[in-house]
Amino acid sequence: MMFNSYLGKSGTQDVFFHIFNHLHQNGKQVILTSDKAPVDMQDIEQRLLSRFKWGLSAELQTPDFETRVSILKNKLYRDGVEMPDDIIEYVAKNIKSNIRELEGAIISLIAQSSFNKKEINIELAKQVVEKFVKNTKREVSIDYIQKIVSDYFQMDVDTLQSKTRKRHIVQARQLAMFFAKKFTKASLASIGSQIGKRDHATVLHACKTVDNLSSTDKQFRKYVEDLTKKLSV
């Protein structure tokens, strides 16, 4: 069961609470996935959080090089395809993000070889991997954006999220909201909730303010340009 932003709504949480209880009482196994540990989740009812803590929490790491090689070899074996070890290792070394992209690169490599009647060699692998990596956009989280913005302005995240109206802190907070809207798929309400528990109107105002200051204030425009580069790496 995928745990996502929809659970931030009270009605959804109530339904989920009853579904969870029904499954648990009937001896069913429930597996939840999330990008945060239960203790770090915001806007979730305590009765749900307590249930999330009942089970085993395990952090899933990005597969290491040896694991990526094994995944590729297993896929090729299942598909009945032979491929030199140096090609497999090249793909595994350069595609690190997730298993779907790893397998997608191998599928693309096989397809390119078949359609263009080319031998699968390092040169072809480089061409396919280069295109694949360029088309893979890294997802940026709101937490990551807040950290980058806070570090840039030499403050901690708690200060950025605080209620203070000091101009430089307000601007940093507005920039964090602006980039959260630009680089994530989160709703305005979700962005506001995660950046100092503000509402969606505050986020909308922040985005408009950043747009206005970017066109009228040279120093502020530099902030936007610098942060855009840091978040686009």
- Residue 233 pLDDT grade (very low, low, confident, very high; cuts 50, 70, 90): low
CATH for 142-232 (3.40.50.620, 1.10.1750.10, 1.10.150.110, 3.40.50.150): 1.10.1750.10
Mean pLDDT within 106-130 = 86
CATH for 65-134 (1.10.8.60, 1.10.8.420, 1.20.1250.20, 2.40.50.140): 1.10.8.60
Bridge partner residues of 2 (DSSP): 33
The pLDDT > 70 percentage for the chain reads 88
- Residue 50 pLDDT grade (very low, low, confident, very high; cuts 50, 70, 90): confident
| Rg of the chain on CA atoms, in Å | 23
Mean pLDDT within 185-195 = 93
Q: Give the dihedral sign, CA 171/184/202/38.
A: negative
Mean pLDDT within 17-46 = 81
Residue 134 has pLDDT above 90, yes or no: no
Q: Which residues of 144-164 are buried (b: 16+ CB within 10 A; e: fewer)?
A: bbbebbbeebeeebeebbeee
Q: How many other CB atoms sit within 10 Å of the CB of residue 117?
A: 6
Is residue 125 packed enough to be buried (19+ CB in 10 Å), middle (13-18) or exposed (0-12)? buried
Mean pLDDT within 198-222 = 96
Mean pLDDT lowest among 1-10, 25-34, 119-128, 189-198: 1-10
Highest mean pLDDT among 22-36, 54-68, 154-168: 154-168
**Mean pLDDT computed over every residue of the chain:** 86
Task: Say what the pLDDT of residue 5 is.
Answer: 44
Predicted confidence (pLDDT) per residue in 81-115, tens digit? 889 999 999 999 888 767 788 888 889 888 888 88
Residue 14 has pLDDT above 50, yes or no: yes
The pLDDT > 90 percentage for the chain reads 43
Task: Say what the pLDDT of residue 140 is.
Answer: 78
Single-letter code of the amino acid located at 223 = Y
C-alpha span between 138 and 133 (Å, rounded): 10
Give the global pTM.
Answer: 0.47
- Domains of the chain, by residue range, sit at 5-52, 65-134, 142-232
Predicted confidence (pLDDT) per residue in 69-90, tens digit? 999 999 999 988 889 999 999 9
Residue 8 has pLDDT above 70, yes or no: no
Task: Say what the pLDDT of residue 6 is.
Answer: 47
Alpha-helix residue ranges (DSSP H) falling in the chain: 10-25, 46-52, 65-79, 85-94, 99-115, 122-134, 142-152, 157-161, 167-183, 188-194, 200-216, 218-232
C-alpha span between 110 and 128 (Å, rounded): 10
Residue 218 has pLDDT above 80, yes or no: yes
